Amino acid sequence: MPPGSTAAPDTTTASLDGVESAFVRRALRRRPLFLGLSIFGIAVAVGLSCYYAWRRMHDPLFPVAARAVIVVLVLLNARQNLRQYRFAGVLGKVLPADFAGGPGGPAARA
């Protein structure tokens, strides 16, 4: 592959070292957790938004600005968890099917 090329490296020449393969296995194993955390974060943000709206309706002087920042931060965290979920899905598609079962994988621990 020529220098500066944006093409994907040839899979026969590119290999992962121990640290990288452990990272990939961990990401693949935690993929459902990332989706769950993302859904939970959205649920918490919706719940907080409803609660703050209810408080504001009953008390017009209730300060919402600082609490809105908290809701935005929770939503940003949920978005990052969704990105990690999608990233792990792409890794699962790109890597060979037997990669997760290699040394240090879930099948090796059983």
Residue-wise pLDDT for 61-106, tens only, equals 999 999 999 999 999 999 999 999 999 999 888 887 777 655 555 5
Sorted by sequence, the CB contacts under 8 Å of residue 29 that are 6+ apart come out as 100, 106
Give me the pLDDT at residue 5, please: 63
The C-alpha atoms of residue 31 and residue 26 are separated, in whole angstroms, by: 9
Of 99, 77, 75, whose CA–CA distance to 88 is shortest? Answer: 99
**Residues 79, 84, 9, 3, Cα dihedral to 10°:** 50
Give me the pLDDT at residue 2, please: 64
